[in-house]
Amino acid sequence: MKLEVLGTNAAFAKDGTTNSFVLWKYENDGILLDCGFSVYQDLLQKNYADKINTVLISHLHQDHCGSLVNLLDYRFKVLNRTTSVGGTPTDKFMLLHSGIGWEAKIHTFPENVSYTKFEVPHAKGMECYALFVENKLLYSGDSAVSILSRPEAQVAKMIIHDISLAKGGIIVSIDELADAAPEIKAKTFLSHYLPKDYDTLVAKAQAYGFGGVLKVGDTFEL
């Protein structure tokens, strides 16, 4: 399985792609983790829209789900294909953004994709989930707390943790992840940042012993 980084941006970056990743089960069968407002254009440009058969959404902030409906509509109306959607419950969201009949665009979760989820604290009143996909990749979503002490973190081959630089916000700070075990930190990669903060994050990640800071186009064999 191959992980490909499509975007690493936090919500308010000037340009680039919002936090998003594809786990390729096969060359033509990808699981998309989060589909923020700028992801759809990337998927079309890369000719990936017909290959993303499953989408997992961590939560319903626009930088994590803002082009989900575009992708589902394109696959349904142009490619005549349905899509599996999991992670955070999207029923109300789909009704609001897609209208009556939205169910036709979605098919039952495929047996060939496995994932579990657990709720993490984020913005008040909003459900947010960490996702553990194919027993290999653990993704934090915008968790306000570290998920590095979870049992899934022990088992995971790779962890993606969204972070911020400041403590006390709705996304955990990089400093608060630093007390995790060294072997956990070594397989943890950081994402969800503003491009201007990249160098600062890289220096901190190195000092703390994290695997690194994700960049667009990075790939990993899992």
Residues of the shown chain interacting with Zn ion in the complex, contacts defined by CB under 5 A = 61, 142
In degrees, rounded to 5, the angle at the alpha carbon of residue 118 between the alpha carbons of residues 114 and 16 is 80
CB atoms within 10 A of CB 67: 21
Residue (123 or 222) nearer to Zn ion, CB: 123
Q: How far is the CB of 192 from Zn ion (least distance, A)?
A: 9
Q: Quote the least distance from Cβ 142 to Zn ion, whole Å.
A: 4
Q: Shortest gap between Cβ of 219 and Zn ion (angstroms)?
A: 25
Q: How far is the CB of 144 from Zn ion (least distance, A)?
A: 10
For 163, counting Cβ atoms within 10 Å of its Cβ (0-12 exposed, 13-18 middle, 19+ buried), the class is buried
CA distance 97 to 85: 15
Rank residues 70 and 88 by Cβ distance to Zn ion and give the closer one: 88
Token look-up 């990808």 returns 30
Considering beta carbons, is residue 49 or 214 the nearer one to Zn ion? 214
- Show the tokens assigned to 165: 């630089």
Residue 25 or residue 59: which is nearer to Zn ion going by CB?
Answer: 59
